[in-house]
Amino acid sequence: MDFTHNVIVFRDEDEQVWDASHKGWRKGRAEVAMGEQLRDHLLDQRDKALSPYVVEYLGERVKNCQNGWARLCKRAGVEGVTLHTLRHTHATWLYSSNVDTHHIADQLGHANDSITRAVYIKRRAETRVELPRLIEQKLGS
């Protein structure tokens, strides 16, 4: 957690991945901006932590939260929702709010937005219906 820059860094400091499409090294994971509510919550958790890690379990760094997420979903009676489902939802909500795909790709840790567009951004039927009206508006003005 980088509370100075309000960013959650999903990688180790020295982690890098070879990006064959750009023939160079790049960061291996996403850096996600945190909002004020999340920042306040994480700072509170940091103050209660038994270790130097904000996200911990019994004083140890949490490296994988999939099992905990599965237990939480089971307890809530929710089926078929994975952490990757939340990733898709995150990308879809940003795209639906007209956030540029380059910014979404950066949030997801993609080297460029082509992966983001191909995997996470689905064309919406309501957008296709809306396009002719938008063109007519522009032509009429």
Q: Is 70 among the domain residues?
A: no
104 and 138 assigned to the same domain:
yes
Which amino acid, 10?
Answer: F
- Model confidence over 97-131: pLDDT tens digits? 888 998 888 888 887 888 888 887 766 656 666 77
End-to-end CA distance of the chain: 49
Domain C-terminal end among 63, 91, 110 = 63
- Model confidence over 55-83: pLDDT tens digits? 888 888 888 888 888 999 999 998 888 98
3 and 43 assigned to the same domain:
yes
Q: Is 71 among the domain residues?
A: no
Encoding tokens for residue 35?
A: 């909002």
Q: Is 72 among the domain residues?
A: no
Q: Is 73 among the domain residues?
A: no
57 and 97 assigned to the same domain:
no
51 and 105 assigned to the same domain:
no
Which domain covers residue 50, as residue numbers? Answer: 1-63
2 and 36 assigned to the same domain:
yes
- Any residues with CB less than 8 A from the CB of 32 and at least 6 apart, and which? 7, 8, 10, 107
Encoding tokens for residue 135?
A: 């063109």
**Dihedral angle at the C-alpha atoms of 86, 40, 94, 98, nearest 10 degrees?**
170
Alpha helices in 17-124 (DSSP H): 36-48, 66-76, 83-96, 101-108, 113-115
Structural domain tally of the chain? 2
84 and 34 assigned to the same domain:
no
**Residue indicated by tokens 């999340």:** 38
Task: State residue 75's pLDDT score.
Answer: 92
pTM score above 0.85: no
Q: Is 37 among the domain residues?
A: yes
Q: Is 53 among the domain residues?
A: yes
100 vs 112: CA distance, rounded Å: 12
